[in-house]
Amino acid sequence: MSDRLTTAAIRKALVTRFAAPEWACFFEVAQGTGSNGGRSADCVAMNMFPSRGLRVHGVEIKASRSDWQRELRDPTKAEPIMRFCDHWWIAAKAGVVLDGELPPTWGLLEMQGTVLRQKVAAPKLDADAMDRPFIAALLRRASERAARELNEAVKDKLAGNEQVIADRVKREVEGRSRELQSLRASIAEFEQRSGIKFETYAMGDIGAAVKLVRDTGLVSRWGNTLQHLSSQARTFADRADAALAEFKIENEDQSA
């Protein structure tokens, strides 16, 4: 695993170990803000329960043996943050910190799978009261995390709204597509029955002709005329059959 992935895994394990609501956990905390930024700690966690002493824990993450050795060459660089902490830890994967290397005032948290286990207890330190620059640095990290969580919540909400809109548009498109298919089927039936192709005739002329037929009642009149002719034809056929029978003339249809 690369140092970057190892660091990410340790940070995730620290969030689990120093979890809310008992703990407030912050990463990359400097000793101050602005020009007073100075040194920083990888993680600072403060206990929120008065019954636990409201203790502050500082943590340095070491992803590799070389990273730890650089820390050992200058252990004093932890002092600007360490002085505000009740306990100071090194969090590392197994094999990074060897036996006997840990300063006596530091503790060791070692990765085992996806969790951090205490390998060496961090002794209680005589912590200084937090000064305003350090409190400002903590509050800055708190406000940045709040802003990040708010942005993520807004993005999730917007994503949800976008999905709702997308579903609505999909339903609308599907509905309009069905309407279009139905309209095309009606046009095809009209063209088949009328012998008229819409692309070869002026739409205005077709519309005017249809309106004229409807306004004059031609369809109903033509239907009545056909019904009258059909009735007359049946009457004539009945009379012809009677005449043939009277004169004993064989009906050609019956002899066929």
pLDDT digits (tens, 9 = 90+) for 49-72: 999 899 999 999 999 999 999 999
Decide which of 130, 163, 192 is a domain's last residue. Answer: 130
Cα(44)–Cα(15) distance, integer angstroms: 11
Percent pLDDT > 70 in the chain is 84
Q: Which domain holds residue 160?
A: 143-201
pTM of the model as a whole = 0.59
Confidence bin at 174 (pLDDT 50/70/90): confident
Task: Say yes or no to pLDDT of 234 above 50.
Answer: yes
What's the whole-number average pLDDT of the chain? Answer: 83
Same structural domain for residues 68 and 124? yes
Choose between 178 and 118: higher pLDDT: 118
User: Residue 56 in contact with residue 84, Cβ under 8 Å?
Assistant: yes
> For position 245, what pLDDT does the model report?
76
Asked if the structure places residue 138 within a domain, the reply is no
Confidence bin at 18 (pLDDT 50/70/90): very high
Asked if the structure places residue 135 within a domain, the reply is no
> For position 256, what pLDDT does the model report?
47
Name, of 128-142, 183-197, 239-253, the range with top average pLDDT.
Answer: 128-142
> For position 95, what pLDDT does the model report?
93
Same structural domain for residues 190 and 228? no
> For position 29, what pLDDT does the model report?
94
Same structural domain for residues 154 and 220? no
> For position 243, what pLDDT does the model report?
74
Percent pLDDT > 90 in the chain is 48
